[in-house]
Amino acid sequence: MRAVVQRVSRASVKVEGQVTGAIERGLAILLGVGVRDAAEDAQYLADKITGLRIFNDDTGKMNLSLSDVGGEILSVSQFTLYGDCRKGRRPSYMEAAQPAVAQSLYEAFNSALRSKGITVATGIFGEHMMLEITNDGPVTILLDSSKNF
């Protein structure tokens, strides 16, 4: 699994003009599921993300986690994180999981976050979505459950 994690002051997602998820202070997560991913990858990323110390403490140092600041998560599925652009100009998505598998693991990821007491807002899997993200910092972290980066 791959995740783009952004520290935000607010974020929302709309489907067909209707807000399906919105948060205030917290993290906006774009999550891609790969063909070799399993439930363990979802749990690994949920643990990693909730423990990331990327929120400022009283001295302005990034030393606090999402739980420390009472933050929320906006989680949005994004298969294009597995787009391979090494050849040609049109990305190949051969490494992205099939929709049924990806949806199941995306939901497992969100459940793992919620089991930690985190409020999780979402988009709608497989739909065209419009995101509004106010990146705070900016702080953007790339994660891969296979530890490729």
Q: With beta carbons less than 8 A apart as the criterion, state whether 31 and 78 touch.
A: yes
Distances (CA, A) of 40 to 35, 43, 135: 14, 5, 29
Beta strand 2-15 pairing with 62-64: unpaired
Query: How far is it, in rounded angstroms, from Cα 138 to Cα 82?
Result: 23
User: CA 99 from chain center: how many Å?
Assistant: 17
Active site residues: 78-80
